[in-house]
């Protein structure tokens, strides 16, 4: 695959596109982001149980929100796909499940870094992102399945346990181990 | 306030994934409002979500439909956009007084401690059960100081955040800010600390199981 293949464009590429949107309302850059991410957001929302039409509507809204809030984007402290994930998840909780939601799940980019001077920064390099992708791909099969059921089907621990005929404690410990494995990548501690 | 008892990472992951019930999420959010460590974990878990979103491989779908959606988006970009009001993160500026309940609990219990209408459940035990709900149970519990709760276990998950006072059990000392994230393998008998009543918020996804005669008497009273 060549580096111009959108499939292998990394976090830094999308950050640069988004920075151009933030800086000069660049429509071409925005539509590149749209073309790449809109089908992915639609697929994600359909997986959570939305009918096609609802998934389309919410995906449009999620992408439009990037355009509207572009000024908030800071490429040094937030990954574009993480921001978009947060927006799409929150839209699903607000509109489809109609549940109360709180500021701790805000959909601003990089919101977690604003409230203290702890020195923790979520800044992530392209290398970190690639490393995380690899770690996800290398998860043992059971852990990968539980991760997918959590993120893409929004299943609770108990629902996963029931569906797979697995003890609840095993579901929790497997998810914990999966998270710890991935976290090494996120934190760049490996 | 720096909590010593934290959320299970599996719970944080499910919170990030939007896979907790609203009741469990309310307790988890109450903890995360004051716990930097668990917020860091949340940030990591959201990054995993972002990476998974990026890894999705959409099949080439209905191209005509995709083209219409694309046109619609281009039209939207032309519209004059009012800047969306953005809620700032951080301690809420409104009514962050001693009387203010943690914000994630407002939809369930209102904003004010003083306005809470406690119901007597058993000697030294008061409770409020949230009216709205998805099937899981969300309760506020107020237990008099120095009181021993019946030994009990759980069929499912119990998530309890201490808001005031403290209790001790075999797992340790739980003070304000601490969360007990317990699975069904745990049997415990909390004893509240002397001094002030212990107030906690708890989410349960299955009825409690009390062994023993006292518990069998208490269970119908508590109605859990």
Taking CB atoms and an 8 Å cutoff, what residues of chain B touch A113?
43
**Tell me, what's the pLDDT at A3?**
43
CATH number, position B213: 2.60.120.10
> What are the beta bridge partners of residue B138?
B203
Chain A contact probe: residue of B7, B16, B18, B70 with most A CBs at under 10 A = B18
- Cβ separation of A179 and B13 shorter than 8 Å? yes
Out of A104, A108, A169, whose CB is closest to B86? A108
Q: Is B133 on the interface with A (CB under 8 A)?
A: no
Q: Once rounded to an integer, what is the mean pLDDT over residues B150-169?
A: 85
Q: In the numeric block, which tokens belong to residue B189?
A: 């008998």
Out of A42, A82, A103, whose CB is closest to B89? A103
Percent of chain B's residues with pLDDT above 70 = 79
Q: Once rounded to an integer, what is the mean pLDDT over residues B128-133?
A: 80
- Cβ separation of B21 and A156 shorter than 8 Å? yes
ipTM for the complex shown = 0.86
Strand runs (DSSP E) across chain A, as ranges? Answer: none
Tell me how far the alpha carbon of residue B107 is from its chain's centroid.
Answer: 12
Tell me how far the alpha carbon of residue B155 is from its chain's centroid.
Answer: 18
pLDDT tens, position by position, A85-100: 999 999 998 888 777 7
**Tell me, what's the pLDDT at B182?**
84
Q: Is A68 on the interface with B (CB under 8 A)?
A: yes
- Cβ separation of B69 and A56 shorter than 8 Å? yes
| Residue for token pair 């919170």 | B15
Cα separation, B71 vs A34, whole angstroms: 11
Count of beta carbons in the 10 Å neighbourhood of residue B180: 22
**Tell me, what's the pLDDT at B36?**
92
Pairing between β-strand B208-209 and β-strand B198-204 as defined by DSSP bridges: unpaired
pLDDT, mean of each 10-residue run, chain A (190 residues): 53 88 92 95 93 94 92 78 92 83 56 40 61 90 96 94 94 96 63
**Tell me, what's the pLDDT at B93?**
45
Answer for the pair A50, A58: CB distance below 8 angstroms, yes or no. Answer: yes
| Residue for token pair 């959320």 | B7
Continuous segment of H or E residues that includes residue A166: none
> What are the beta bridge partners of residue A141?
none
Taking CB atoms and an 8 Å cutoff, what residues of chain B touch A132?
47-48, 51
Domain count, chain B: 1
Give residue B139's domain range.
1-224
Set out the domains of chain A in order of their start, with CATH numbers.
Answer: 11-98 (1.10.1740.10), 109-183 (1.10.10.10)
pLDDT tens, position by position, B143-156: 999 998 777 776 67
Q: In the numeric block, which tokens belong to residue A139?
A: 């998860």
Q: Is B64 on the interface with A (CB under 8 A)?
A: no
pLDDT tens, position by position, B17-42: 999 989 999 999 999 999 999 999 99
The alpha carbon of residue B208 is apart from the nearest alpha carbon of chain A, in Å, by: 15
Answer for the pair A154, B52: CB distance below 8 angstroms, yes or no. Answer: no
**Tell me, what's the pLDDT at A122?**
45
């Amino acid at each position: 695959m060549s580096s111009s293949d959108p499939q292998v464009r990394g976090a830094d590429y999308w950050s640069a596109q988004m920075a151009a949107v933030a800086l000069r309302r660049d429509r071409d850059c925005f539509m590149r982001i749209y073309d790449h991410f809109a089908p992915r957001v639609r697929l994600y929302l359909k997986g959570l149980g939305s009918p096609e039409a609802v998934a389309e509507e919410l995906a449009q809204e999620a992408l439009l929100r990037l355009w509207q809030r572009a000024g908030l984007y800071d490429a040094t402290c937030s990954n574009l796909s993480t921001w978009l994930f947060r927006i799409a998840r929150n839209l699903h909780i607000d509109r489809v499940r109609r549940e109360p939601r709180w500021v701790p799940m805000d959909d601003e980019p990089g919101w977690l870094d604003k409230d203290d001077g702890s020195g923790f920064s979520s800044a992530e390099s392209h290398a970190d992102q690639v490393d995380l992708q690899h770690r996800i791909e290398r998860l043992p099969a059971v852990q990968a399945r539980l991760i997918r059921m959590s993120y893409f089907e929004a299943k609770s621990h108990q629902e996963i346990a029931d569906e797979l005929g697995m003890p609840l404690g095993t579901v929790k410990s497997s998810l914990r181990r999966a998270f710890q494995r991935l976290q090494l990548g996120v934190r760049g501690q490996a | 306030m720096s909590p010593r008892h934290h959320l299970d990472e599996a719970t944080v992951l499910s919170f990030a994934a939007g896979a907790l019930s609203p009741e469990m999420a309310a307790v988890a959010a109450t903890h995360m409002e004051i716990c930097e460590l668990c917020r860091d974990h949340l940030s990591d878990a959201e990054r995993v979500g972002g990476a998974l979103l990026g890894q999705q491989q959409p099949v080439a779908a209905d191209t005509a439909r995709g083209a219409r959606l694309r046109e619609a988006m281009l039209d939207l970009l032309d519209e004059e956009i009012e800047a969306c009001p953005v809620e700032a993160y951080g301690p809420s500026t409104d009514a962050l007084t001693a009387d203010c309940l943690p914000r994630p609990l407002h939809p369930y219990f209102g904003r004010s401690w003083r306005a809470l209408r406690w119901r007597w459940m058993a000697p030294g035990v008061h409770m409020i059960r949230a009216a709205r709900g998805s099937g899981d149970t969300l309760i506020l519990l107020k237990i008099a100081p120095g009181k021993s709760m019946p030994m009990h276990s759980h069929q499912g998950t119990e998530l309890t955040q201490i808001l005031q006072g403290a209790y001790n059990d075999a797992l340790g000392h739980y003070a304000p800010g601490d969360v007990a994230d317990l699975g069904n393998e745990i049997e415990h008998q909390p004893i509240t600390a002397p001094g002030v009543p212990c107030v906690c918020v708890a989410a349960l996804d299955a009825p409690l199981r009390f062994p023993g005669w006292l518990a069998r008497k208490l269970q119908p009273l508590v109605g859990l």
